[in-house]
Amino acid sequence: MIKDVFTQPQIDFINQLVLDNYDKLDSRYSERGREDIVLTPNGTAAFENLNPIAKEICDRVLSYFDEGKYINAITYGEYTNKHTNPNLPPHKDPIHTKNGLTFDYLLDSNVDWPICLEGDCVSLEKNDAIIFSPCEQYHHRPEMIFNDGDYVKVLFFMIRTNQ
């Protein structure tokens, strides 16, 4: 687990970006109790060009990886009971992300909903992240009832390897 990933100005930038794009919240994964906003709709380079802080955010994430990795996409995900109780049974992600890694970052939450890799569960606090291989490692979150107002807000940085 990685602690203290971003600085407060970087976190403020992310929160403002989410607010500015809140009308784009996508319910594609509503059966998981999650709604998403793709923060890199025009690619990561366009995201980095938004602001020096956006570039810092990407550089910070890549600093946790070996050379030759890049960020393919950044997605914001928000789990609440708006559509259904959030649920993430054990699974591996589809093969289209083969060799990919994910940098899962906890932006904010008001409940503790651990993330489990191959059955080992860890509780992330705000500004913590965990790296794993979503196509190769079973991952899930324990069954938990979300009450009205409970939320878990995450960022998924999808990491790929240069060919």
Judged by the rule CB under 5 A, the positions of this chain that interact with Fe ion are 93, 134
Q: What is the rounded distance in angstroms from the CA atom of residue 154 to the CA atom of residue 79?
A: 8
Nearer to Fe ion, 53 or 153 (CB): 153
CB-based closest residue to Fe ion = 93
Closest CB 135 distance from Fe ion, rounded Å: 9
| Residues forming a β-bridge with 155 | 76, 105
Nearer to Fe ion, 43 or 89 (CB): 89
The helix/strand/coil state of 147 is coil
Nearer to Fe ion, 54 or 77 (CB): 77
Closest CB 69 distance from Fe ion, rounded Å: 19
Give the amino acid at 91. H
Closest CB 7 distance from Fe ion, rounded Å: 28
Q: What angle do CA 158, 77, 129 make, to 5 degrees?
A: 55
Q: What is the rounded distance in angstroms from the CA atom of residue 123 to the CA atom of residue 110?
A: 12
